[in-house]
Homo-oligomer: A and B are copies of this chain.
């Protein structure tokens, strides 16, 4: 045990044995007293609790975990290139929701940020589970043909998938109805009078992007309008490139739906640079909402969902699973369309 070499000596950390010795009773009695179990008189219990408090005793998490209990730690791997990661306000909102529930229920979060290497992520789960470091994990960013699902099932590692629903698996999962969201956006734009609409989506390796794309196509068909989907990474520069191409072509779209707030902002920047007035000549919608959309002028119309609640639900489903209660598949409430200043009838 290495100690910080500060002037004041560190407090020696008390053990149950110390408490027992000081009171002249056995370790077991102390254990029963501290855990609220029967087997000790209430007088002894009081004395134990008082002394434990005085000594600043905490149960060693390692010792607890070693004797079969849970670790009280939940793992989360963020597997995106770090420059993309910074772009997503989604995660930090999500994390704050996760944290809230974990804190309430006495757990903590082991976080790992890695580049986008699916094997590295699966390796992390293997290690964490092998080392008994976590009780379970939250899987975010469902991918097309996601290898992580079979990996956690093979390991027997309790996990909750943010995505789905998945067939033929008892893994609990929770998801947003992207199809309903797509319909909501498309109906709104069509009601304004738009007929040439572009959809700048994120990369199709993410399942939710595929689902959105399908939803958009289906809604367009139903509504009798034309929609083109263009794929881009979740970066401002890629979104800007796509936007430039869209606006430079003859017969440009009158409305563009972007997969994220950052992409929408980049699109706005391009429109402004090209002298295309928003919303007079171009309407812009963002599929994700955040403080960014109201920070800029004009403020961006966006689909909003309660991301902290999403994280909170994921965490609570995982803790329940660890406790032996599989809550199965849960669908989140549909998003709300926050209409702001970037949408209007076409010129």
Contacts and interface: CB of A to CB of B under 8 A. Distances in A.
Most chain B CB within 10 A, of A4, A13, A112, A136, is at A4
A183 interface: no
Contact of A296 (B87, B265, B294): B265
B96 A92 contact: no
A169 B6 contact: yes
A265 B110 contact: no
Contacts of A114: 99, 103
Contact of A291 (B13, B86, B294, B322): B86
A296 B95 CA distance: 27
A291 B269 contact: no
A140 interface: no
Nearest to A152: B4
A58 B157 contact: no
Interface in A259-316: 262, 265-266, 268-269, 272-273, 290-292, 294-297, 308
A71 interface: yes
A133 to B, nearest CB: 5
A60 B236 contact: no
B295 A265 contact: yes
A66 B132 CA distance: 13
Nearest to A57: B130
A68 interface: yes
Interface string A142-158: 00000000001111111
A117 to B, nearest CB: 12
A99 B64 CA distance: 27
Contact of A295 (B5, B65, B169, B236): B236
Q: Binding site of A, secondary structure by majority: helix, strand, loop or mixed?
A: mixed
B82 A308 contact: yes
A231 interface: no
Interface in A316-336: 321-324, 326
A58 B10 CA distance: 32
B154 A8 contact: yes
A120 B152 CA distance: 34
A66 B62 contact: yes
A347 interface: no
A8 B294 CA distance: 49
Contacts of A158: 2-4
B108 A109 contact: no
Interface of A: 1-11, 13, 56-66, 68, 70-71, 73, 82, 85-87, 89, 91-93, 95-96, 99-100, 103, 108-114, 126-127, 129-133, 135-136, 152-159, 169-171, 236, 262, 265-266, 268-269, 272-273, 290-292, 294-297, 308, 321-324, 326
Given A8-B156, A95-B111, 17 more contacts: A4-B136, A4-B157, A4-B159, A5-B170, A7-B153, A8-B153, A11-B156, A58-B127, A61-B131, A61-B133, A62-B62, A82-B308, A99-B113, A99-B114, A108-B110, A262-B291, A272-B297
